[in-house]
Structure 1
Amino acid sequence: MNNDRQNFVLFAVIAALILFGWPLVQNRFFPTANPPATKIVDGKQVPLPKPGADPTADTPAAIRDRQVVLAETPRVRIETPTMRGSINLRGPRIDDLVLVDYKETVAKDSAPIRLLSPAGAPDAYFAGFGWRADGLATPPAGTVWSASSPVLAPGRPVTLDATGANGQRFRIQLSVDDGYMFTVRQTVLNAGDRAVPVAPYGFVNRAGVSKDPDSWTIHTGPMSVNNGAAHYGPNFEDLDTGPERFTTKGGWLGFADKYWLTSLVPDQSATFEGQFRSTPSKGYQADFTVQPRVVQPGQALTQTSRFFAGAKEVRLLDRYTDRENVAQLDYAIDWGWFRIVEKPIFYYLDWLFRMVGNFGVAIILLTLTIRLVMFPIAQRQFASMAAMRAVQPKMKALQERYKDDKVRMQQEVMALYKAEKVNPLAGCLPTLIQIPIFYALYKVLMLTIEMRHQPFILWIKDLSAPDPATILNLFGYIPVTLPHFLAIGVVPVLLGVSMYFQFKLNPQVMDETQAQIFKFMPWVLMFVMAPFAVGLQVYWITTNCVSILQQRLLYARHPGLQQPAA
């Protein structure tokens, strides 16, 4: 009796540690979901604004209204199916860009995502291209370049021209595709009387760190592909102590947010030097310089590079990687170790979504597919469990007989397994298979922009965020902000109920303490899972419901499995 009481107290302590300790580590190592897209106030669903950051700029100049800053310089408009914005002809710079297919919030009148902003405006973020040369007088920073057209669009490139102090001519030809890739052709004509080494460069500058948190499983911040490998780092704070440099042939560098990416892509056949550094105004910059080439008097040098600025869409990144030879641009999505599982699950889930038009339904169909594939394994698991239960009395007798000889006891138990043709590990296989699948779905929901702001039914407006319909404050009628572990929504409760009935179908145990633990476990897991994305909870609820049906079917074939062990 005392042992039972001690075991129950130990379980209670462990449960308390899970409930109160889990939130302390999850955000650093295992973020559970995206920030909520909506909240329930007085029983009504209200869209939440996008989480912001303190506005900063790349220069000491005061922060001004963006429209005022944009009106200060002549510009070329950017008009594509996916982007709107403009190019600053003073510099020149690509410093004004919004992504028309993505909104800041789930509100119908929400503004589109703004990725790039000019210096002096809130959240300054821009890219530029130029030349480094010894003896080559490049145009001063304040030079206004001439443009061949007022609009840059797919199939309608724009040529920018400027003249240096010594009559040397500089040209930047910009083109853009139907995705998020700019092509930059930099040409310099050496009008001097001696040969000069010329090194084209490009940079992307941002004011402040990413608004998306950086975690163990999801990297945000500086990123590069160099020397044949993807590098998820350095972190922003690492650059405050000094720059990070590398030399490579092929690859790219830039800044990765959770869903957005800016990437400088030099000529993939040329060797270049890449660098990440902090700026004096507490901003950050990524830049590259191609190895210099000598330009003779009267000769011209043209160097082509590319600049990606947009959403990290899986299919689009794969297209640039596979068909347009941008080395490992698809690694901009931090899939991690389970990439080999995660990408097929994403593509299958995305195909289901295109078929049915609802990601929640697609997740349910994905779950049913997985359970169907695993059904033969589950059958073997239950058969093994039935066989193990049948040999329990014999095992107990062996343990009593050889309790003073552990080696002999293990030998006899293994001989019993062999004689009875049972495998004690067979019952673990379905659970082990579920772990990478569950983790892969977690990463898909957390990482891929295709899941962002995807609705399901009724009040579920974002499957990648937690359930906003919190019960303990009466769905917002009580104006109280609940602690993290008490923000239990309707979907987590349904998850707890499904786990309760599934646990109830498990084979009965003789130990009273174990029986009590099994009764409490579903509700402990309900609290643990509440902060996770609703999409994961939908997956788990569907899995539990299918398991209940499956268990009933298999118990009919193995009725002895439900009986307590003798």
Structure 2
Amino acid sequence: MEDKRNWITAILLSAAILLGWNFVSQQFFPTPPKPDVTTTVAGSPAAHPAAATQPGTPAPGATASAAPVAHTAVPLETALASGNRVAIETPALSGSINLVGARIDDITLNKYRQTIKKNSPPVRLFAPAGTNAAYFASVGWAAQGIEVPGPTTVWTASGTRLTPTTPVTLSWANGTGQSFRIEYGIDAHYLITAKQTIVNGGATSVTANSFALIDRLGKPTDPHEQSSWTNHIGPTGMVDGKSEFSVDYKHLDKGETFKYSSAGWLGFTDKYWLAAVIPAKGERVSASITAPTADNYQTLFARPFTAVAPGRQVTTTSRIFAGAKEVSTLSAYQDAGIPRLSNAIDWGWFEFFEKPIFKLLDWLFQQVGNFGVAIMLLTVIIRALMFPVAQRQFHSMAQMRLVQPKMKALQERHKDDKPRQQQELMKLYKDEKINPLAGCLPIVLQIPIFYALYKVLMLTIEMRHQPFVLWIRDLSAPDPAHFLNLFGLLDFTPPSLLALGPLALILGATMFLQFRLNPQATDPVQQQVFKIMPWMFMFIMAPFAAGLLLYWITNNCLSIAQQQFMYRKFPQLRAAPVK
């Protein structure tokens, strides 16, 4: 009867953990998307036509150039084929500048593909206004009493291609004595520079200011591209001296407006991509995050109004980041003066621990050329560093095994007096020089390592779409092979809780073998839980990134090998204890 009760307790406890973990993991550890499902990056198709919206008023007293003009949604190819454009050609970016409005509204990332298929198109970041995925950067002016260029202004270009070696200047005059220039330059990575100049050729002084903005229609609809406890997706920046991670699309949908008295940079971040506008270092600007119209989001910074005397000109410099959140690239831009740009990757509170893990893993990958092998080597290094702690754990478990007969005798002798039983057990631990918590220390140390690796696999683009061997073509995504749909032969995707694949099965088997080598717990309920736990973890870990499962499997194998080595080195520890 007692044995049945223990089994029922163990099963109920395991079921509670399994079902509870499924809820917790969705909130705090969202699983990465499966490969071959990404179709767009610039935004999801909206349910309504896109609008070519005029930016909100950049500063008090500014004069709007034009009212918002609604357009019927047009295909992306049609929008790119119409109008005059200046091509953008760099090793990292391809696209164009629209001479109508001087907008940077066509950017694709040359090094990154939408899916793991060989013929997959490159990732698109920006798309023109009027399309369902409108997303663009723009610079401009506001002024009092004069006409300034707006979204419908047609600019004249000095060239046909913007490259790292050939800047392009756009010019326009309002016919009343004022002329405007935008000199665009670009580096070999993702940074575009826009020098804005207003020349006052009139007879009287004019008051004007300049601004830069990112405008986005719609927000990601993929559940894996939503903000979570572990990763912020949406409006972000370095404003008022701190990194902004608290503003979400849902706040803007409620009509909330966020204003700041200073900005180092601000824009929109996706899981792997960033679009941001950046003022000159130390420049005094005001900034805002708003939703000018429904499902349309905007980040903007504006400079104070300045008087431009007749015959004088004022030049300001804005920069635009449009590209991938590569750790080394963001760090290089940050070192060059863009404050905290590397925080566009939401490292969280454990950045001090996650970055070293990333740097070591990335270095190993550069050496061996296979990301899966790099994870296995990282595991070996971590196990080597933790060997003294693990050795102490093993010694503690072996001692626990040797004194189990004494522990059982004490439990039987004082089974009706639990306080006395605990006192006698603690005295036994002290006499035998056993620390019952020593066996937990390696597990405790593994938690931050596992979390750091989880964040690295989830957030860093360097790990995206990295293959291992055979069917594992993306270690940052879950194992694509599932037993329940006969490895893809059946046309359905199992729910995450039942998405068991070969990696999850190997994980359960190696954990089971590892537990078999551990000393058996004295409590019957614990014994039953430990028998079930490996297979429970098999279900828990199945939806996680394949790279995490590979790390855990390698760690289990190394633990088994270490235990076998210790048993061979100290055979007396495996001998049956004398009663």
Q: Output the TM-score relative to the length of structure 2.
A: 0.89
2:186 is the counterpart of 1:176: yes
- Alignment match, 1:340: 352
- Alignment match, 1:117: 127
Say which of 37, 53, 61 aligns to 2:44.
53
2:263 is the counterpart of 1:263: no
- Alignment match, 1:37: 35
Q: How much identity, in percent, do the aligned residues show?
A: 50
Say which of 225, 246, 249 aligns to 1:233.
246
Following superposition, the deviation at residue 390 of structure 1 comes to 4.8
- The code of the aligned residue for 2:340 comes to Q
Moved more, 177-186 or 547-556: 547-556
Given that residues 254 and 264 in structure 1 are in contact (C-alpha distance below 8 angstroms), is that contact kept between their aligned partners in structure 2?
A: yes
- Alignment match, 2:551: 539
SS at match of 1:5: helix
Q: Say if 1:158 and 1:500 are closer, same or farther in 2 by CA, change over 3 A.
A: same
- Alignment match, 1:526: 538
- The code of the aligned residue for 1:445 comes to L
**Alpha-carbon distance in structure 2 between the residues aligned to 1:204 and 1:366:** 39
Moved more, 278-287 or 112-121: 278-287
**Alpha-carbon distance in structure 2 between the residues aligned to 1:465 and 1:535:** 8
Q: Say if 1:480 and 1:163 are closer, same or farther in 2 by CA, change over 3 A.
A: closer
For residues 521-542 of structure 1, the C-alpha deviation after alignment (integer angstroms, 9 at most, x for no partner) is: 1111101111011100000110
SS at match of 2:117: coil
Given that residues 507 and 563 in structure 1 are in contact (C-alpha distance below 8 angstroms), is that contact kept between their aligned partners in structure 2?
A: no
Structure 1 unaligned regions, length at least 5: 39-46
Following superposition, the deviation at residue 109 of structure 1 comes to 1.0
Given that residues 18 and 528 in structure 1 are in contact (C-alpha distance below 8 angstroms), is that contact kept between their aligned partners in structure 2?
A: no
Given that residues 6 and 524 in structure 2 are in contact (C-alpha distance below 8 angstroms), is that contact kept between their aligned partners in structure 1?
A: no
2:59 is the counterpart of 1:68: no
For residues 298-326 of structure 1, the C-alpha deviation after alignment (integer angstroms, 9 at most, x for no partner) is: 2211111110000011110011111x110
- Alignment match, 1:137: 147
SS at match of 1:302: strand
Following superposition, the deviation at residue 509 of structure 1 comes to 3.6
For residues 332-370 of structure 1, the C-alpha deviation after alignment (integer angstroms, 9 at most, x for no partner) is: 001111111111111111111111111011101111111
Q: Say if 1:476 and 1:48 are closer, same or farther in 2 by CA, change over 3 A.
A: farther
Say which of 109, 113, 130 aligns to 1:103.
113
Given that residues 224 and 233 in structure 1 are in contact (C-alpha distance below 8 angstroms), is that contact kept between their aligned partners in structure 2?
A: no
2:459 is the counterpart of 1:444: no
Given that residues 253 and 294 in structure 2 are in contact (C-alpha distance below 8 angstroms), is that contact kept between their aligned partners in structure 1?
A: no
2:10 is the counterpart of 1:11: yes
**Alpha-carbon distance in structure 2 between the residues aligned to 1:219 and 1:525:** 27
Say which of 268, 282, 289 aligns to 2:302.
289
- Alignment match, 1:377: 389
SS at match of 1:14: helix
- The code of the aligned residue for 2:317 comes to T
Following superposition, the deviation at residue 395 of structure 1 comes to 6.4
Following superposition, the deviation at residue 451 of structure 1 comes to 1.0
Following superposition, the deviation at residue 480 of structure 1 comes to 4.1
Superposed counterparts of 1:50-449, under 5 Å? 53-55=44-46, 57-59=50-52, 60-211=70-221, 212-322=225-335, 324-390=336-402, 406=419, 417=429, 420-449=432-461
Moved more, 98-107 or 417-426: 417-426
**Alpha-carbon distance in structure 2 between the residues aligned to 1:252 and 1:91:** 22
- The code of the aligned residue for 1:205 comes to D
- The code of the aligned residue for 1:258 comes to K
Following superposition, the deviation at residue 376 of structure 1 comes to 1.3
Given that residues 227 and 234 in structure 2 are in contact (C-alpha distance below 8 angstroms), is that contact kept between their aligned partners in structure 1?
A: yes
Structure 2 unaligned regions, length at least 5: 53-69
For residues 144-167 of structure 1, the C-alpha deviation after alignment (integer angstroms, 9 at most, x for no partner) is: 111111100002111111112422
**Alpha-carbon distance in structure 2 between the residues aligned to 1:21 and 1:224:** 35
SS at match of 1:279: strand
For residues 473-532 of structure 1, the C-alpha deviation after alignment (integer angstroms, 9 at most, x for no partner) is: 222223344232222111111111111111111113455543333222111110111101
Given that residues 384 and 423 in structure 1 are in contact (C-alpha distance below 8 angstroms), is that contact kept between their aligned partners in structure 2?
A: yes
- The code of the aligned residue for 2:383 comes to R
Q: Output the TM-score relative to the length of structure 1.
A: 0.91
**Alpha-carbon distance in structure 2 between the residues aligned to 1:256 and 1:289:** 20
**Alpha-carbon distance in structure 1 between the residues aligned to 2:40 and 2:21:** 26
Given that residues 255 and 261 in structure 1 are in contact (C-alpha distance below 8 angstroms), is that contact kept between their aligned partners in structure 2?
A: yes
Given that residues 345 and 459 in structure 2 are in contact (C-alpha distance below 8 angstroms), is that contact kept between their aligned partners in structure 1?
A: yes
Given that residues 58 and 206 in structure 1 are in contact (C-alpha distance below 8 angstroms), is that contact kept between their aligned partners in structure 2?
A: no
Following superposition, the deviation at residue 561 of structure 1 comes to 5.0
Moved more, 268-277 or 20-29: 20-29
**Alpha-carbon distance in structure 2 between the residues aligned to 1:49 and 1:520:** 40
Aligned length: 554
Q: Say if 1:275 and 1:351 are closer, same or farther in 2 by CA, change over 3 A.
A: same
Q: Say if 1:214 and 1:149 are closer, same or farther in 2 by CA, change over 3 A.
A: same
**Alpha-carbon distance in structure 2 between the residues aligned to 1:81 and 1:536:** 32
Q: Say if 1:563 and 1:166 are closer, same or farther in 2 by CA, change over 3 A.
A: farther
Q: Say if 1:210 and 1:476 are closer, same or farther in 2 by CA, change over 3 A.
A: closer
Following superposition, the deviation at residue 405 of structure 1 comes to 9.5
**Alpha-carbon distance in structure 2 between the residues aligned to 1:545 and 1:552:** 11
**Alpha-carbon distance in structure 2 between the residues aligned to 1:444 and 1:405:** 46
Q: Say if 1:334 and 1:498 are closer, same or farther in 2 by CA, change over 3 A.
A: same
